[in-house]
Chains A and B, each alone.
Chain A
Amino acid sequence: MIRLIAFLVGIGFAGVALISLIAGMGPAFSDLSNYGRFVKPTVEHEFHKSPKPIKFQHDGPFGTWDAAQLQRGYQVYKEVCSSCHSLKYVAFRDLEQLGYSPEEVKALAAEWTNIRDIDSDTGEAITRPGLPTDTFPAPYPNNVAAATANNGVAPPDLSLMTKARPNGTAYVNSLLTGYGPIPAELKEQFPEFSTPDGGHFNEYFPNLNLAMAPPLTLDGQVSYADGTEATIPQMAADVSAFLTWTAEPSLVERKQRGWPVVLFLLFATVLAYFAKKHVWSDTKPKKAD
């Protein structure tokens, strides 16, 4: 009885799945014959590119931070990105990890003069210079203000940007250097394509139409304190490295802690293997008797 019911239920579910299959086959195969693939090719599918590969010192299981690059990246963030993008999960004290001394961090924090606070005597809203314990201040008082000032799209917080996109570090780097005119080939295939609402064409952005105007526009836009030549690719790579650090300050510590753990476990597992072999040695089949 139970098998008969099971049989009917099985035929039922399989049958309905196959009815769905047959119902969907017509449109799917007509798409296939029309476009040479199952889904109508969209402009995003044809022209959206995955990020350019780029190497960093923090890559790989032995990666370490390049403190000089992170300091340069911080400078790019401060002088370029921070006018629109917040970094709300990062505190000034964290900058010590970039190789700054506590005194330098104090001075760096004080350069940010727009920390919102309340006057402890009068209770009035004030702005004051930053302290190491503060997090980076948001450039806009709220999301509505941020959106209004930026063509209707609030610039996202950058703290976690490189973890919030697939292959995020390379993505940020590619996005910053990926602006350009709409290619002739694209205009040929998709004559109706445009970047509406003051958007900017960027082949690394999923819908190719990025609200952000190109932030890095000329070589030497930032004067690096360490004398490195501030080309656009250099600034893009530096700020991508910096944002990798903001997304996960413990990244390098994590990799370094991992090695002793894995090596210890390897050693313990080899011991466990021989212990197992030893324990089991008296159960071996004895052909002689």
Chain B
Amino acid sequence: MSFPWAREYTPTNGFMKFMDERLPLPRLVYNAVGAGYPVPRNLSYMWNFGVLAGFFLMLQIVTGIVLAMHYASNTEVAFATTEHIMRDVNWGWLIRYAHANGASFFFLVIYMHIFRGFYYSSYKAPREMVWLLGVVIFLLMMATAFMGYVLPWGQMSFWAAKVITGLFGAIPLIGEPLQVWLLGGYAPDNAALNRFFSLHFLLPFVIAGVVILHIWALHIPGSSNPTGVEVKKESDTLPFHPYYTAKDGFGLGVVLIIFMMFVFFMPNALGHPDNYIEANPLSTPALIVPEWYFYPFYAILRAFTFDFILPAKLWGVLAMFAAILIWFILPWLDKSPVRSGKYRPLFRIFFWILMLDMAALFYLGGAHAEEPYIMLSQIATAYYFLHFLVILPIISSIEKPDPLPYSITEAVLGSDDDAALNAKADSAA
């Protein structure tokens, strides 16, 4: 589906004509990311991150497949094979550092993509399905990244596995048997490592499948845009190719430069030194932390310290999962008819408070579990839930939005002839 003025694919030579009649793959590409896909003409660089996320998914799959050729998922040798990759495999250090930092950059661009969605309410009708599938992708990414982090079988790998699977133990009645079933034992060991490897290999392909659905769902209404005003006519759009291929190409270049600086000059900056110590079930690290991209949710998990009716640990687990699951109902919480934060003065203030709150949670999740960090993370956690579940629905009801431009054309060019005509008709009536 697309806008009526979308250019139609016409095969230019005999072979393409042959293909088009039998397997119209070129037509699919043309209509998905080619000249046949009209896109709002006013997309900013904040709309670059979806393509970047796709790039990093591919990078993770390619580097991951090569790593899997040299890695062995057995607790006796997992750590040693990781070092074998670093030392003896040709270019192994590059592949592994690209994979480890690639995970970080994947999350970085995904967070930008999600926060873009918050600000411009990209989750609103008619794009709810795009948003829901996106949250599914994020959950799958978290599971994949967590299991991948366990594979090198370093100290942080082991203790992260122990802490995270221990969360399931907090569930009443079924918790402990569930935990044992997930791990294949009472503590992370060979059974757990092996199944984590198997799932870590499988899930990226599941993610790729959901990404296809995500893009499919996106192509029904087309992209949202910084004004939040829907596309009305051809002058509101530009063909994806060459306009957005060129724009995304430049954005990709900028991000790749930063990425390569990490890979080549500070590849361990985002990791934890403890993971260069082989897993030792008898020695607990001074501070057990996940990778940086889990910090906000780890901060929420640790914020609950008081047994209020339920045990504190269970509250933490529920809150941590709820922190992401509430994104699923976001389209039905924010009732404001205006999408873009640009025209929502009250919403905008609270959006930036949420960003500050997220920044605080990012910091607190990596801090020692001691005061004043615990108190700060309790305040930040409380705001996080109030923002989405209480503040957002209220402001969407009471807020008086700023006037919207008539069309994307007017927003970009400063005037729109149709808008002037309509205004004339209105005043005449």
Query: How many angstroms between the C-alpha atoms of A206 and B379 in the bound complex?
Result: 31
A38 touches B385 (CB 8 A): no
Q: In the complex, which of the residues A16, A25, A156, A265 contacts B375, with contact meaning CB atoms closer than 8 Å?
A: A25
Query: How many angstroms between the C-alpha atoms of A261 and B312 in the bound complex?
Result: 50
A276 at the interface (CB under 8 A from B): yes
B212 at the interface (CB under 8 A from A): no
Q: How far is the CB of A138 from chain B (nearest CB, A)?
A: 14
Are A269 and B393 also in contact (CB < 8 A) when A6-B326, A20-B305 are? no
The 3 closest A-B CB pairs, nearest first, are A10-B389, A258-B264, A269-B253
B261 at the interface (CB under 8 A from A): yes
B264 touches A16 (CB 8 A): no
A58 at the interface (CB under 8 A from B): no
Tell me how many residues of B have a C-beta within 8 Å of chain A. Answer: 66
Are A165 and B273 also in contact (CB < 8 A) when A23-B306, A261-B264, A262-B257 are? yes
Query: How many angstroms between the C-alpha atoms of A248 and B97 in the bound complex?
Result: 12
A258 touches B329 (CB 8 A): no
12 other A-B residue contacts (CB within 8 Å) besides A269-B257, A275-B246 = A9-B385, A13-B318, A17-B319, A23-B306, A24-B306, A28-B375, A31-B371, A61-B265, A168-B273, A258-B261, A273-B250, A280-B246
A164 at the interface (CB under 8 A from B): yes
Query: How many angstroms between the C-alpha atoms of A204 and B250 in the bound complex?
Result: 47
Tell me the A residues contacting B by CB distance below 8 Å: 2-3, 6-7, 9-11, 13-21, 23-25, 28, 31-32, 38-39, 61, 89, 94, 156, 159-160, 163-166, 168, 206, 247-250, 254-255, 257-259, 261-262, 265-266, 268-269, 272-273, 275-276, 279-280, 283, 285-287
Query: How many angstroms between the C-alpha atoms of A6 and B322 in the bound complex?
Result: 11
B174 at the interface (CB under 8 A from A): no
B390 touches A11 (CB 8 A): yes
Query: How many angstroms between the C-alpha atoms of A61 and B264 in the bound complex?
Result: 9
Question: Which single residue of chain A is at the shortest CB-CB distance from B154?
Answer: A164
Which B residues are CB-close (under 8 A) to A20? 303-306, 308, 312, 315, 378
Interface-side segment among B79-87, B107-115, B123-131: B79-87
Which A residues are CB-close (under 8 A) to B308? 16, 19-20
Q: In the complex, which of the residues B382, B390, B412 contacts A21, with contact meaning CB atoms closer than 8 Å?
A: B382
Chain B contacts with A in 314-336, Cβ cutoff 8 A:
315, 318-319, 322, 326, 329, 332-333, 335
A3, A23, A248, A262, most chain B CB atoms within 10 A: A3
Query: How many angstroms between the C-alpha atoms of A71 and B388 in the bound complex?
Result: 60
Which B residues are CB-close (under 8 A) to A15? 382
Which A residues are CB-close (under 8 A) to B375? 21, 24-25, 28
Q: In the complex, which of the residues A17, A248, A250, A287 contacts B385, with contact meaning CB atoms closer than 8 Å?
A: A17
Which B residues are CB-close (under 8 A) to A276? 246-247, 249-250
Are A285 and B413 also in contact (CB < 8 A) when A10-B389, A255-B265, A272-B250 are? yes
In the assembled complex, 29 residue pairs joining A and B whose CB atoms fall closer than 8 Å, in A order, are: A2-B332, A6-B393, A7-B390, A10-B390, A11-B386, A11-B390, A13-B322, A14-B385, A14-B386, A14-B390, A23-B306, A24-B375, A28-B372, A28-B374, A31-B371, A32-B371, A163-B273, A165-B273, A257-B94, A257-B264, A262-B261, A269-B250, A269-B254, A272-B249, A276-B250, A279-B242, A279-B246, A280-B246, A283-B243
Query: How many angstroms between the C-alpha atoms of A250 and B96 in the bound complex?
Result: 13
Which B residues are CB-close (under 8 A) to A89? 80, 83, 87
B389 touches A285 (CB 8 A): no
B41 at the interface (CB under 8 A from A): yes
B198 at the interface (CB under 8 A from A): no
Q: How far is the CB of B107 from chain A (nearest CB, A)?
A: 21
